[in-house]
Amino acid sequence: MSAIDWDRLNELRSDIGEEDFADVAILFVAELQESLDGLDPATANVADFHFVRGSAANLGFTALVEACASAETACQTGAAPDVEAVRRAFDDALAEVRPTVPELADAA
């Protein structure tokens, strides 16, 4: 299964324009990386994962969206969120995007 919704990623590229796409997408990836670096399973909350999920959805990182949704649910029920699953989903998306859009993978 793909970690990326390529239609969404390409739609974003089309909407922004090829020239500006890299800058905008790199900003999204850098913000995602910063947020994930700061996630502590003991203190992470719904808002942390909601932010990451929204950015991931904009990029079409579907596996990351799903991992964040699960982590949000865990937080809401008082369970510990699986921060490592969220980080793995991000890494998987970057690995999948690297051959096609290397500047995104290199932004993390």
How far apart, in whole angstroms, are the C-alpha atoms of residue 100 and residue 96?
Answer: 8
* pLDDT, position 69: 97
* pLDDT, position 105: 66
Contact 53, 72 (CB under 8 A): yes
What type of residue is 95?
A: A
Give me the average pLDDT of each 10-residue run along the chain (108 residues): 90 88 86 90 92 92 97 94 96 90 70
The string of DSSP codes covering 33-44 is HHHHHT--TTT-
* pLDDT, position 93: 93
Given the candidates 1.20.120, 1.10.287, 1.20.1050, 2.70.40, the CATH classification of the domain at 6-107 is 1.20.120
* pLDDT, position 101: 77
